[in-house]
Structure 1
Amino acid sequence: MNVLFMGRWDLAGAYLANRFLSEGHTACWITGEDQRALWHPRLRGSIYRGTFGAQQIAPILTSNRIDTVVFLTGALRENAPGAAYESCIPALAALLEALREHRVQTFVYLSSVELGYGGALTPLQADLAAGELYCQAHQSHFGLPLLIARLGYVYAPVPPGDMGYTGALLARMARGEPVTCPCSAGDCVDVIHAEDAAAALYDLVLVRAAGRYLVVTGHPVPLAEYFACLGRVAGCEPDVTWQAQRPTLPPGDFDPRPLQLATGWIPTHLFAQDGADTLGRALAMPASAPSGAPRPVRVPLARLRAWLARHAPLRTLGETLLLFAATSLLLRFGKDVSDLKYVDIRLMFVALTACCYGGEMGVLAVVLASLSYLYSLAASYVDTAYLLYSVDTWLPFVVYAVTGSVLGYIVNRRREDTDALRRRYDLLEEKYRRVEALQTETQDLKNRLQQQLLNTKHSFGDLYRIVLELDAQQPEQLLQRGIGVVQQVLECEKAAVYYVDVPAGCARLLTCSPALEGSAPAVLGLAELERLRLAFRRGGLFVNTGLLADHPDLAAPVWYDGQPYAFVAAYDIAPDKFTTYYQDLFRVVVSLLEKNLLRALSYEKARRSERCVAGTALLKPEAFAEKLALLRGEGGRALCRFTLGRVQPPAGLDAAAVGRALGGMIRKTDYMGQDETGGYAVILTNTPPEQAEELAVRFARAGFHWEVVPS
Structure 2
Amino acid sequence: MKYIKTKEDSTSCILIAGNTNCLETETLNHIADYYRVVIISDDSDNVAPIKLSAKYSKRIKTYKEDLSSDNCKKIFHAFSPDTVWYFSGYTDGCDGLRDENKKLSALIHNCSAIGVQKLIFISSVSSLNYYYKDTVNGKVKIYLSETGFECSQLENLCRYSSTKNYLKYIILRAPYLYSKYNNTKNYLGSLFSRMEEIEPIVFPYDASGKVDFLSVRDITELLMFITEETLDDAGTYTLTSDSGLTYQSFAELLKKCEPSTQASFSEGKPCVLELDEKNENRNIRKEYGFIPLDNIVENLNDFYKIYIQGLNKEVNILEKLLERMPKLPHIALAVTETLVLFVIIQLLLPYTSDNTLFKYVDLRLFFVVILGVTYGMIPGMLAGLLMCFSLIYSYSQIGITIKMLFYNMDYWLPFAIYLMTGAITGYLVSTKDQKLKFAEDEAISLHNKYSFLNDVYMSVINNKEEYKRQILGYQDSFGKIFEAVHSLDSSVPEKIFMNSIETLENILDNHTIAIYTLDKFQRYGRLVACSRELLTDQPKSLNIEQISDVYEVIKNRGTWKNIDFKEELPTYAYGILDEGKVRIMICIYKASQMQMGLYYMNLFTIICHLIRFSFIRALRYQTLMEENKYFENTGILKPEFFISELKAQRNMADKGIASHVLLKLHSFNIVETDKKLGHLIRHTDSLGIGEDGKYYLLMRQINPNVFKIIDQRLRENGIEFTVVEGV
* Same fold, judged at TM 0.5 (above): no
Instruction: Tell me: higher relative CO, structure 1 or 2? Use CA pairs within 8 A at least 6 residues apart.
Output: 2
